[in-house]
Amino acid sequence: MLAAPAMAANPASIRELDRVGVETERVSAVVGPKVVQIVTQSLKVAERGDEQPAGVLVAERGRGSGFFVTADGYLITNAHVVANATRIRVLVPTPGATQADTPREYTASVAGIDPENDLALLKIEVPSVPFFDLTRDATPRQGQLVLAYGSPMGLAQSASLGLVSAIDRQLSPDDPRAYIQTDASMNPGNSGGPLVDLEGKLLGINTMILSQSGGSEGLGFAVPLEVIRHSYAALRANGSVARPLLGIQPRSLTADLIAGLGLNQRQGVLVEDVQPYGPAAAAGLLPGDVLLSLGAETIHTMRDLYRAEYALSAGAPVEIAVMRGSDARLLRITPGAPRQNPPALSAGNVTEKDNLVFRLGVYGATLTPALAATLSDLRGGPGVLVIALAGAGLAAQNAIEPGDVVHAINGTPVDGVDSLRSALETVPDGTPIVLQIERAGMLSYVTPGTMPGAEQRLKKTSYVMY
């Protein structure tokens, strides 16, 4: 049998590929010093199936990526990278160093969080660093070659090449957020790293992947530059990003909704509900209206509405156009003040000083009015919300669970963590303890047992801290 003739190498094709390689090398030399690895230490409440008993507060470590956006050490990452972090370390490449050289290490503070867009602004104290200029425009194009940088699986200063698979990708019709979709390889640890074009311009921040295996399957998503730019400005100014409230429940129009409700509009946002006494109700909006414009912005989709709301000012009236059946109406709405985020209550905010109730073996939070407003089915009254168990104390041996509210001990009401601690200190050794707790809106008595003596307490109680 005759062998197939060998294919001769095409020198022109080789030169073209080599030029692409030269360009990616050049981009990496410019982009690499702007990219950092983020190492976090955090606390979480163990769930069933974890190595620790459910409900116990345990230490956890994580890794992600980030990039500088100012010369004086402000950097952007994903909010989920630093969620619940009690300590954030930023590993910065040494100028002119190779990947094998030890990076410089800094402790970061959180300057602001934008949970809706999964963005966080951090700050480290550093004299001067190379950074991405957020005012420099770059527009992604489908089919464009891009590079994703970050620390996949903890491997710092990694780069992967791919294409822009799609722009303005919504993961569901009612999700107002849109992403740049890319097939550039991303894995856990890439979150927070930059997605750039072959000129080194920032296109977006690597945020998530869709995967059935847990690894890269060519479905990566980045928050686009325009969102980063807006979020950064708000976080620098206020430490948070908030949209003024309209008081409506919006819904994307679908073919089924249009047909089933007999709507005349094929574009716009359906008003599913109107908050009683809210800005929309005062303006005369009704459920079933289709919102067509907000101020100067035409509303085609949920994303248009989402973006337009950020440009509003609370208390400043704005015109809105709606369709009600076959009637076009022009109304005037005065947006309300942005909703204040409830006090952060998570494992990452827990400290021994503020939250540990040593003799009971729980971490608790004083039930303030603001905190109570975030809890459903609460009957009211002062108390202590149980955040987590603290090891093998009295609570861990009995029926106390995270989410319970302790209202009284041995008939004495408690109005906060300090009063619960004080009440426990007055219970003599060997005396039975009866806690009045609230769970899912129902009151009950829990009897953890008798207060152990000091010697027994030291032997029985262990705390998972670091």
Q: Tell me: do 274 and 324 sit in the same domain.
A: yes
Residue of 118, 183, 197, 289 marked catalytic: 118
Q: Tell me: do 455 and 362 sit in the same domain.
A: yes
User: Which is it for the CA torsion 351, 339, 414, 362, positive or negative?
Assistant: negative
* For range 65-72, the mean pLDDT: 96
Task: Indicate the number of domains in the chain.
Answer: 4
Domain presence at residue 311: yes
Full residue range of the structural domain in which residue 308 is found: 248-333
Q: Tell me: do 49 and 107 sit in the same domain.
A: yes
Q: Tell me: do 198 and 217 sit in the same domain.
A: yes
* For range 432-437, the mean pLDDT: 86
Among 199, 220, 238, give the residue marking a domain's end: 238
CATH code of the domain covering residue 50: 2.40.10.10
Residue of 151, 158, 191, 231 marked catalytic: 191
Among 333, 364, 381, give the residue marking a domain's end: 333
Domain presence at residue 423: yes
Q: Tell me: do 380 and 288 sit in the same domain.
A: no
pLDDT, one tens digit per residue, over 197-223 is 999 999 999 998 887 777 777 889 999
Q: Tell me: do 354 and 453 sit in the same domain.
A: yes
* For range 318-343, the mean pLDDT: 85
Instruction: Please give the single-letter amino acid code of residue 165.
Output: S
* For range 419-447, the mean pLDDT: 84
Q: Tell me: do 193 and 114 sit in the same domain.
A: no
Q: Tell me: do 224 and 321 sit in the same domain.
A: no
CATH code of the domain covering residue 305: 2.30.42.10
Determine whether 407 is an active site residue. Answer: no
Can you give the pLDDT at residue 376? Answer: 66
Residue 325 to residues 261, 291, 320: CA-CA distances in angstroms? 10, 12, 16
Q: Tell me: do 365 and 445 sit in the same domain.
A: yes
Determine whether 175 is an active site residue. Answer: no
Domain presence at residue 131: no
pTM confidence score: 0.71
Domain presence at residue 224: yes
Can you give the pLDDT at residue 379? Answer: 77
Can you give the pLDDT at residue 280? Answer: 93
Q: b or e along 111-126 (b: 16 or more beta carbons within 10 Å of the residue's beta carbon)?
A: ebbbebbbbbbbbbeb
Q: Tell me: do 282 and 384 sit in the same domain.
A: no
Q: Tell me: do 233 and 256 sit in the same domain.
A: no
Domain presence at residue 7: no
Q: Tell me: do 224 and 280 sit in the same domain.
A: no
Residue of 80, 175, 211, 462 marked catalytic: 80
What percent of the chain clears pLDDT 70, i.e. is strictly above it? Answer: 83
Can you give the pLDDT at residue 283? Answer: 94
